[in-house]
């Protein structure tokens, strides 16, 4: 009997072709609503999602026939992992597919901030040709602290390998450090924060990491350092980051994610905080696109297809 798979978000066509080649029935519904998914989910053996479908306990209770949930990319905070395990639903994700894209984007934001690229570009567009006020800072000889060394952390470290920097890593699970690189040193979080010129977050959103970066965390960072977040917005408190920038504690911030990424739902405080961040020359903000490349779209699909094939031993 054919497995029936529902895909709720845009994917590379290679995933659809591959699943059908494995003799699966595929319903590709990238515009489907959450309510529509809830009404029909009990008909499917597999569900493939990105971020719009939150697979909480209530939702999973209606998914009586699911064998697996495939997550396009990473970010398992949208799934009740404990309840899925109890009900025998396997969770398959593909963080390997966009790790390189995140590594490149992280480095790109950092270089743009240090060299005033986006700010000077805005000046030039106004026909203002100023050089001295946009004098940059070189990355070489800096100490880069990477928190989390699962997939995107090592990808960022690899991109830094030609910049003559020292890399410090803190990861409570000790990912990928069985063979330490001579330029990478694993340290306690306190040491990383104290001496790093740049602190980059590459950790999942869990109850342990939610609001990890607060005023206390930032106070422990080196004066004049830079914070990068390409993980999840709820890991770092935007108002605390703004205060640290205003006080001079932070010299800059590169944020691909923020706590609330739906501007139409911002309350008054969020409007004020985000407006203040957007207006600062020492902040670069992108709309959660660090892993969002044409190549990663294919790689995420390819990795997930292979994991589904292995899951069914096909």
Q: Are 239 and 205 in contact (CB under 8 A)?
A: no
Q: Using 50, 70 and 90 to split pLDDT, how confident is the model at 36?
A: very high
pLDDT bracket for residue 283 (50, 70, 90): very high
- Percentage of the chain lying above the pLDDT 90 cut: 90
Closest by CA to 198, choosing from 175, 176, 230, is 230
pLDDT score at 13: 97
**pLDDT recorded at residue 77:** 86
The secondary structure of 74-86 as a DSSP string is S-GGGB-HHHHHH
Residue of 73 and 228 predicted with greater confidence:
228
Per-residue pLDDT at 182: 64
Which residue, chain included where needed, has tokens 């066509």? 13
Instruction: Say which range, 67-81, 119-133, 206-220, has the weakest mean pLDDT.
Output: 67-81
User: Which pLDDT belongs to residue 172?
Assistant: 83
The alpha-helical segments, DSSP class H, found in 29-143 are 34-40, 57-62, 81-86, 99-114, 117-125
Tokens for 213? Answer: 């970066």
Whole-number Å distance between alpha carbons of 72 and 53: 12
24 DSSP assignment: -
59: left (phi over 0), alpha (psi -120 to 50) or beta: alpha
Mean per-residue pLDDT for 137-145? 97
DSSP code of residue 55: B
Given this model, what pLDDT does residue 106 score? 98
Report strand pairing: 90-93 vs 68-71: parallel
Q: Does 121 participate in catalysis according to the annotation?
A: no
* Backbone phi, psi, residue 270, to 5°: -65, -40
Domain 99-285 is in which class? alpha beta
Catalytic: 288?
yes
CATH 3.40.50.720, applies to 4-97+295-311 = yes
pLDDT above 60 (res 179): no
Residue ranges per domain, the chain? 4-97+295-311, 99-285
Does residue 175 have a pLDDT over 60? no
Q: Do domains 4-97+295-311 and 99-285 have the same CATH topology?
A: yes
Distance CA 309, CA 86 (A): 23
- The answer to whether residue 33 scores a pLDDT higher than 80 is yes
Each residue of 207-263: pLDDT tens digit? 999 999 999 999 999 999 999 999 999 999 999 999 999 999 999 999 999 999 999
CB neighbour list of residue 89: distance below 8 Å, 6 or more residues apart: 60, 63, 66, 67, 68, 69
pLDDT exceeds cutoff 70 at 194: yes
Residue 176 pLDDT exceeds 70:
no
For the chain, the average pLDDT equals 94
pLDDT level of residue 181 (50, 70, 90 thresholds): low
> 90, 185, 280, 288: which one is catalytic?
288
* For residue 285, pLDDT beyond 80: yes
At 142 the pLDDT is 97
Q: Which of 261, 270, 271, 309 is catalytic?
A: 261
Q: Among 116, 176, 111, which Cα is nearest to 146's? A: 176
Indicate if the pLDDT at residue 28 is higher than 70.
yes
Q: Is 232 a catalytic residue?
A: yes
pTM of the model: 0.93
**What number is the average pLDDT over the span 264-290?**
97
pLDDT at residue 2, as a whole number? 86
Calculate mean pLDDT across residues 104-108: 98
pLDDT band at 93 (very low <50, low <70, confident <90, very high): very high
Q: Is the pLDDT of residue 165 over 80?
A: yes
Show Cβ contacts of residue 256 under 8 Å, excluding neighbours closer than 6 positions. 105, 106, 109, 229, 230, 285, 286, 287, 288, 289, 290
């Amino acid at each position: 009997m054919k497995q029936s798979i529902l895909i709720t978000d845009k994917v590379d066509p290679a995933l659809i072709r591959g699943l059908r080649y494995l003799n699966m029935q595929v319903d590709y519904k990238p515009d489907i609503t959450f309510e529509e998914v809830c009404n029909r989910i009990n008909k499917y053996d597999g569900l493939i999602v990105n971020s719009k479908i939150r697979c909480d306990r209530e939702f999973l209770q209606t998914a009586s026939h699911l064998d697996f949930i495939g997550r396009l990319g990473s970010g398992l905070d949208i799934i009740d992992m404990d309840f899925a395990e109890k009900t025998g639903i396997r969770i398959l994700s593909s963080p390997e597919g966009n790790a390189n894209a995140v590594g490149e984007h992280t480095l790109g934001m950092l270089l743009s901030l240090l060299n005033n690229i986006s700010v000077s570009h805005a000046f030039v567009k106004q026909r203002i040709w100023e050089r001295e006020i946009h004098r940059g800072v070189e990355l070489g000889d800096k100490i880069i602290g990477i928190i989390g060394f699962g997939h995107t952390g090592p990808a960022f470290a690899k991109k830094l390998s030609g910049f003559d920097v020292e890399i410090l890593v803190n990861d409570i699970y000790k990912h990928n450090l069985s063979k330490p690189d001579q330029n990478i040193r694993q340290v306690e979080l306190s040491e990383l924060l104290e001496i790093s010129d740049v602190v980059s977050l590459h950790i999942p959103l869990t109850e342990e990491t939610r609001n990890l970066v607060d005023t206390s965390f930032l106070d422990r960072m080196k004066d004049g350092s830079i914070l990068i977040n390409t993980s999840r917005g709820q890991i770092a408190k935007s108002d605390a980051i703004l205060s640290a920038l205003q006080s001079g504690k932070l010299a800059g911030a590169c944020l691909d994610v923020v706590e609330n990424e739906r501007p139409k739902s911002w309350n008054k405080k969020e409007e004020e905080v985000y407006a203040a961040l957007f207006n600062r020359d020492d902040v670069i903000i992108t709309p959660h696109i660090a892993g969002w490349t044409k190549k990663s779209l294919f790689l995420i699909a390819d990795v997930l297809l292979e994991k589904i094939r292995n899951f069914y031993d096909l």
